Amino acid sequence: MAKLYFFYSTMNAGKSTALLQSNYNYNERGMDTLLFLPKVDADANKNKIHSRIGLIADAISVDTSFDFFEYVQNLKNEKKVDAILIDEVQFLTKDQVRQICKISDTLNIPSMCYGIRTDFRGELFSGSMYLLAYADNLVELKTMCEYENCTRKATMVARFVNGELVTEGEKVV
């Protein structure tokens, strides 16, 4: 049976790079993948997943009403789907996470989800919360803390406004 993987970290840990590398590895072996990106990020990036090291790939833009299971099940009747990869999964809904679980469990397609676990207040994002609960494998991608020359592992996203660390405000800016 295929598994659902959740790769999580703070910002700048290489999540998109890891996703694009996995996609490359599948494609190099003649396997077909589907890449998805939530609309909130897709609109700003012209439906492309970008990594800071320059890797780029086209992705399918999804809004909160998008049904992953229905889409993949219908597409699977027309073409081979060997894996799905989703970036910025923190923006997914509980129902969408359950749909992704169903893809792996009933369609036997591995699902690899990449996203931020918590916001700058230390609160879980909805998509991340349900992926932490439902994923078969949890993988933390680590990066270094950038706050005041700290050299420890980063544990959460920090928000700065005019050079000052803030701990209150909207979840997403």
Q: Any idea which residues carry the catalytic annotation? A: 88
Contacts of 133 by beta carbon, 8 Å cutoff, 6+ apart: none
Q: How far apart are CA 173 and CA 165, in angstroms?
A: 15
Dihedral sign for Cα 23, 65, 137, 114, please: positive
Q: How far apart are CA 163 and CA 173, in angstroms?
A: 16
DSSP state, 124? B
- Residue 129: what are its φ and ψ, rounded to 5°? -60, -45
- Residue 134: name the closest of 5, 24, 25, 1 by CA: 5
Q: How far apart are CA 138 and CA 132, in angstroms?
A: 7
